[in-house]
Amino acid sequence: MAYEKCPPIMRPGFLLALALALSCGCSSGGGGSSKPIPRSPWPRFRADTTNSGTGVAGVETARQTPAAIAVDSMSPLSPVTSSPSIDTDGSVYVGSEAGTLLAVRNDGTRKWSATSCAVCPEIPPSGKVEIALGALVSSPAVHTVNEQTSIFIGSSSGRVYGFSDATTVTDSSAVCTACFDPRASDPDITSASFVSSPALVWHSVTGNILSVYIAATITRKNAPGQIFGKLYALAPNGTMQWEYPPGAGWPSGFSASVALGPGRSVLITGGNRGIGRAIAEAFVALGDQVAVTTRNGGAPEGCLDVRCDVTDADSVDRAFAEVEAAHGPVEVLVANAGITHDTLLLRMSEEDWTAVVDTNLTGSFRVVRRAAKGMLRLRRGRIVLISSVVGLLGSAGQTNYAASKAGLVGMARSIARELGSRSITANVVAPGFVETDMTDVLTDEQKAAIRSQVPLGRYAAPTEIASAVTWLASEGAGYVTGAVIPVDGGLGMGH
């Protein structure tokens, strides 16, 4: 039958318009508040082998108030913001919101107090010699070796302090021997708070302290409004041995029991237009840290713009390194970057085929392979591949595109089987006709003909595709993997 005698829906021009609409989602972007201590009887500690059975820290109640211990203005106890720690000789150490570290003997008398540290770096420089401690909100960590006691405590003002307990000096002021401030070595940190108690590791033979572990929350210049967490390992003199993770840190709100939640590191390839842009904006709205790959910029507001060509493995590696430095390991990957070179089979060149498959299918392979490294270390992750109803139904004039999108289904299901034991899921979203700037070029007749093929009788909005993606990346979809989610208005009917 001659083309000109075919009904409109069978003519090549319409078929290519239909193909354009079905591929419209592609993006060429490659790429409890503190309370004062009540004036109740003050606990007094003494050795009591008959009562406690331990020889250390039996407790009796004595009619002695905090004021009797805090005998001067340099050792205010109220409000106390840390839990007390007890030394082997029964001494008690406690920090206050006013910035005083207080040592109390096991008979209830004041041993010493400290309110400043002369070995701390001043951030920012001000020429001061002594640094006020700030609110001491973590419990002290105490360790004694060769009758020398070391005390480490964290401050909400962003420092970790180490003190040496001069046990033979009465009513002395403790000597500050160590100070760590993460802002001294990382100028991008704008604030820090050490609210966890330090943990000490010491040599099993000599008893000397080897490392001080402590966690912090920090904020950074390049991520206003975001709070990050870090774990630091410090030497006894306050110098940093290592930090985890390096760079920005992990988003606050994570715990060992919560795999995914607000603040995750999300990477979307081709996130500057169409479906990719809508997905990026949806994750930003959830409070996640979002990075998008583009070739020429144009990332949505609130997203890290990373230049990347998914057809180049080195470019992919550089992009991931940039994202990991800013947001930490990628926890959610959305492989969305894609292109079309539509034409009928006999007119399709080798270059038309190779370019589309290398971007849409092999490009997705490159970013998934790179993201999997970090996800395996984290033992969690979400991978979402953006396919198309064309990959399931086929489309005249889109042999290359359909093949590339169909390949994503097999890829996702293989990944799901391979990485599932590490709590990493891999799923596919297959959009149908989507209203984007690429469909605006179609004529009203072409648009009406396309809508007539869709049971719901309309195009999808990009936000509807984004909703499916964010659900697959959510904690609620933790048991969904290897699935193909059609968002096509019923066009594919489950294919």
Q: Could you give the C-alpha distances from 81 to 101, 154, 183, 267, 364, in angstroms and in order?
A: 11, 11, 24, 40, 51
**Burial per residue of 67-105, b for 16 or more beta-carbon CB atoms within 10 angstroms, e otherwise:** eebbeeeebbbbebbbebbebebbbbbbbbbbbbbbbbb
Contact 390, 402 (CB under 8 A): yes
Which one from 213, 401, 459, 479 is the annotated catalytic residue? Answer: 401
Q: List residues bridging with 72 in a β-sheet.
A: none
Q: Which residues pair with 421 in a beta bridge?
A: none
Expressed in angstroms, the distance from the first to the final Cα of the chain is 30
Beta strands at 289-294 and 303-307: parallel, antiparallel or unpaired: parallel
3-state secondary structure 210-245: EEEEEEEEEEECCCCCCCEEEEEEECCCCCEEEEEC
Contacts of 483 (CB under 8 A, 6+ apart): 427, 428, 472
Catalytic (active site) residue 401? yes
424 three-class SS: strand
Between CA 160 and CA 338 the distance in angstroms is 49
The residues, any chain, with a CB within 8 Å of residue 122's CB and separated by 6 or more, are 128, 131
Query: Active-site positions?
Result: 401
